[in-house]
Amino acid sequence: MWLRLAAIAVFAAAPCMQVLAQSREILTLDDAFARLAQAHPDLRLFESQRTALTAEFDRAGLRPPLVAGLAIENALGSGATRGFDEAEISLTLAGVLERGGKLDARRTLAQTRIDALALQRETRRLDLLAEVARRYLAVNAAQQLRRIAELDIAQRQRTAAAARQRLAAGASPESVLLTAQAALARAELDRDRAAQRWLSSRQHLAALWGERDPLFEVVAGDPLALPTIPDFAALAELLERTPELARFADEQRLREARLQLARRQAVPDVDWQVGIRRLQADDDVALIGSLAIPLGSARRAQPDIRAAEAELAMLGIEREAQGLALYSTLADAHGRYRVAQLETARLQADILPRLGKAEAAAERAYRAGASSYLEWAQLQSERTSARRQQLEAALEAQGALIEIQRLTGQAFVAGPAAPTEGTTP
């Protein structure tokens, strides 16, 4: 289920393709996900970590080594032991007999760490996918801002042209034309600023996979098409399956394995040694052997046992705290999405259509000499401001949607939306 986050829809409507230069590559959101998966160092790092943990697993499965020894006694002394005439030589083989299942406990702990790595990678992958979606959204936002600026420029050009006609007819002062031209220049500045923002956001997106000179164009979608998402209660149930909480199951197994290993240390190991000794006096050979058991192993193991038990007990509290944090984040994202979705819909359905009609009526009145320039210009400004407000609300909703998808691992996609006033001229 978590793997389906790759289908995050930054713009949930069916994307519309723009006319692009042949030299530039078209980059979809799925393409961006694929490039991230192939090139981001955080994801490639997990392969090296797995190799290291596998080596630790192999090391944990090794038994204590056998030790071969050679001992010489009664040599290089004084008197009768001068030189090697009275030397006695012993050949020994020693080792440690592990007791209490320490070998199995070590291997269980090492295997649990390997198993937990997959979920850690999935958690990091989801975070990175969400970051890709946010940066992709920023590129599209810059495109939409430029489009709004171009609509505003078209409005201001009509105003300047009308003011020039009235000035030529002697029906309007030159100050009106200059004001209209200044407004046009400001709209052109907004367009250029959006273009620069697009370049910066595109570079920011490409930096995720290490591309220094991006030559791609992103797919332009409709940010106003917002999907219907489930109620908060239904989304909260999905939190139980998120990797951020699922990792606590692996962490519990890991801490239980550490506790078992600590308890195994309370059982003392047995040091053994066997060998043969050559007796110099009569040139005979004898068998030698020894056993040694350390005392106080149970007492020395108690601090590690108590520490492992405390860490295991803390896990429940840690999971509860993480659950509350995720629940709070989801509640905030869900609330922001609902508010922004409502604002976007009301602007699209009620405010922008009325402003469009009012601006058209003001234009007709101005050209007929029944209205002032200020009234027409103010309505143009309000219409452009409403477009920007609608885009900001839609982007706020899209950002909240990305966060909801990151938390729940679900992709909520809207169907195609018809073009609306505010997104087209």
pLDDT at 251 over 70: yes
The tens digit of pLDDT for each residue in 358-367 reads 999 998 998 8
Helix 297-346 × helix 243-264 angle, to 10°: 180
State residue 3's pLDDT score.
Answer: 37
pLDDT at 4 over 50: no
pLDDT band at residue 413 under the 50/70/90 scheme: low
pLDDT at 420 over 70: no
State residue 10's pLDDT score.
Answer: 42
Helix 373-408 × helix 102-168 angle, to 10°: 170
The tens digit of pLDDT for each residue in 99-134 reads 888 888 989 999 998 988 888 888 888 889 899 999
The tens digit of pLDDT for each residue in 197-247 reads 999 999 999 998 988 888 888 877 788 888 888 999 999 988 888 888 888
- 248: Cα separation from own chain's centroid: 18
pLDDT at 395 over 90: yes
Beta carbons within 8 Å of 245's beta carbon, 6+ residues apart: 239, 319, 322, 323, 326
- Of the chain, the end-to-end C-alpha distance in Å amounts to 41
CA nearest 50: which of 116, 103, 108?
116
Cβ pair 24, 213 in contact under 8 A:
no
pLDDT at 425 over 50: no
pLDDT band at residue 414 under the 50/70/90 scheme: very low
State residue 6's pLDDT score.
Answer: 37
Of 211-225, 381-395, 411-425, which one has max mean pLDDT? 381-395
State residue 14's pLDDT score.
Answer: 34
Percent of the chain exceeding pLDDT 70 equals: 90
The tens digit of pLDDT for each residue in 52-104 reads 999 999 998 889 899 999 988 878 777 766 777 777 888 999 999 888 888 88
Mean pLDDT of all residues in 309-333: 92
Positive or negative: CA dihedral 153, 156, 157, 158: positive
Mean pLDDT of all residues in 141-150: 93
Mean pLDDT of all residues in 310-332: 92
State residue 18's pLDDT score.
Answer: 41
User: Measured between alpha carbons, how far is 423 from 140 in angstroms, rounded to an integer?
Assistant: 13
Mean pLDDT of the chain: 84
CA nearest 13: which of 220, 229, 221, 217?
221
User: Measured between alpha carbons, how far is 274 from 94 in angstroms, rounded to an integer?
Assistant: 6
State residue 412's pLDDT score.
Answer: 67
Q: Which pairing describes strands 25-27 and 216-218: parallel, antiparallel, or unpaired?
A: parallel
State residue 345's pLDDT score.
Answer: 93
The tens digit of pLDDT for each residue in 346-359 reads 999 999 999 999 99
* Alpha-carbon separation of residue 358 from 11, 364, 382 (angstroms): 30, 10, 10
- In three-state secondary structure terms, 329 is helix
